[in-house]
Amino acid sequence: MIATNEPSLELRLGEIREILKAPGPCITITLPAYHPGEPAGSMSANLKSNLQEISTRLAAHHVSGTSAADLLAPLERLVNDPAMEGGSHWGRVIFRAPSVLKQFELTLPPKATVSVGSTFAIRDIAGEFGRPSAFYVLTLSRSGVHLSRCAGRHCESVKLPYGVPETLEEAMAFEPPDHDLENRSAASGSASGRRAVRFGTGSGREKQRLHVADYYKLVDRAVRSLLQEGEIPLILSGVEEDCAAFRAVTACRHLVHRTIAKQDAVRDGEKLLLSAYAVLAAEQSERQAAALRSAMERVAPSRFVSDPKAVLEAAFDGLIKELYAIENAKIMGEWERDGHRSWEDEDLINAAMAQTILCHGEAAALPAGMMPAGLEVAAILHY
């Protein structure tokens, strides 16, 4: 399973499951994004500082010098990779074991971490696993509508079907302006003292609102005709007024609830992607938290487990259907199972998540405020 040095952005569940099968020692390194000039230092500098810590941990667990050198050699070569020295908008995770060398760029900003143990550390990057492989971003404004298709770290412009006006002004050009439709009324009750008062056929604000609604209906039909890829999400970007106007008329079934704020509503570039991935991650966390609350209300008490040690045992038994944990919580300890023993002070929640994924269950890390009060981890069993 040894791979090239080129990172991938496709951190999919199937691949992480294969990686988790690898025997240890398992080294996991997460490196934050880096922009030249920042005091935090480049990925290369951070990785170099990690190597000494990794070497110390391997020695403490009696890994032979030869085995340790073999593990560290490709990581040392990565330190000198020019791509690691330059800037990047994307963080990175590196997995290294005797049979594994894999690295992935991350769509969500990671903290700088290093882990050495009997299994890879995946809890901090669990938000990456449910990311859609592709999605669309619709940027809305009265001066123009723009559609982008995003996949991985690529974002490309998509032209709307022929005949769909690109701007509200263009759409309104097909109708006579309201100020040409003039009526008259009287300003006073006296016939002799009457003077004319001009008014249109409707208030200007109301006419504008109707024009916008009709225009966004056209855009909505056009966009839905292009979204022929199953359950592919659509994210809106722009000011709240425009996004609300579009939501009021759309029939899109997979419209993401959150929007990209106006300041991030750019047509091209990595900034739009970073903002979109943050929106998708927040939406995913809300969906997972709702699933946990629903499960707690409907499943039998015997299928709900929240004691960390019981959760870990259930994970090794392949009994967990869904596992939820606070994203920053760690319960350190040791475990032994079927002749295999963890290293000292490993993250038991991470071990439970890894075993759940290996057994084809689902695992999610939620912000603390989204977990039911008092729970650090919760599992829904198959039966």
Contact by Cβ (8 Å): 376, 331:
yes
Is residue 251 located within the same domain as residue 113? no
Q: How far apart are CA 372 and CA 376, in angstroms?
A: 9
Among the residue ranges 81-90, 217-226, 231-240, 357-366, the one predicted with the least confidence is 81-90
For the residues of 271-340, what is the DSSP string, one character each?
Answer: HHHHHHHHHHHHHHHHHHHHHHHHHHHHS-GGGEE--HHHHHHHHHTT-EEEEEEETT---EE--EETTE
Q: How many residues comprise the chain?
A: 383
**What CA–CA distance (Å, rounded) separates 265 from 268?**
9
The CA-atom distances, in angstroms, between 254 and each of 231, 259, 278 are 6, 13, 17
Tens of pLDDT, residues 106-158: 988 898 999 999 999 999 999 898 888 899 999 988 777 889 999 888 888 88
Same domain, yes or no, for 237 and 167?
yes
Is residue 290 a part of any domain in this protein? no
Using the predicted structure, report yes or no on whether residue 85 has a pLDDT greater than 80.
no
First-residue to last-residue Cα distance in the chain = 35
Q: What is the pTM of this model?
A: 0.82
Query: What DSSP state is assigned to residue 124?
Result: G
Distant-in-sequence contacts of 220-226, Cβ < 8 A, 24+ apart: 220/246, 220/249, 220/250, 220/251, 220/252, 222/160, 222/161, 222/164, 223/136, 223/138, 223/147, 223/160, 223/252, 224/251, 224/252, 225/161, 226/136, 226/147, 226/158, 226/160, 226/161
Residues 161-189 have pLDDT tens digits of 877 777 777 766 655 444 443 444 444 44
Select, from the ranges 1-5, 18-22, 86-90, 345-349, the one with the highest average predicted confidence (pLDDT). Answer: 18-22
As to burial, measured by CB atoms within 10 angstroms (0-12 exposed, 13-18 middle, 19+ buried), residue 166 is middle
Q: Which of 61-75, 87-101, 151-165, 190-204 has the lowest mean pLDDT?
A: 190-204
Q: What is the extent of the structural domain holding 17?
A: 1-129
Span of 70-74, 176-180, 374-378 with lowest mean pLDDT: 176-180
Q: Are residues 6 and 121 in the same domain?
A: yes
67 and 151 housed in the same domain = no
Residue 294 covered by a domain: no
Q: Are 296 and 273 in contact (CB under 8 A)?
A: no
The SS3 assignment for 179 reads helix
**Residue 146 burial (CB < 10 Å; 0-12/13-18/19+)?**
buried
Give the end of a domain, one of 95, 129, 163. 129
Chain centre to alpha carbon of residue 378: 22
CATH value at residue 171: 3.30.420
Q: Are residues 113 and 139 in the same domain?
A: no
Tell me the pLDDT tens digit for each residue of 217-237: 888 988 988 887 668 899 999
The total number of structural domains in the chain stands at 3
Whether 256 and 327 map to the same domain: the answer is no
- Domain termination site, one of 257, 284, 311: 284
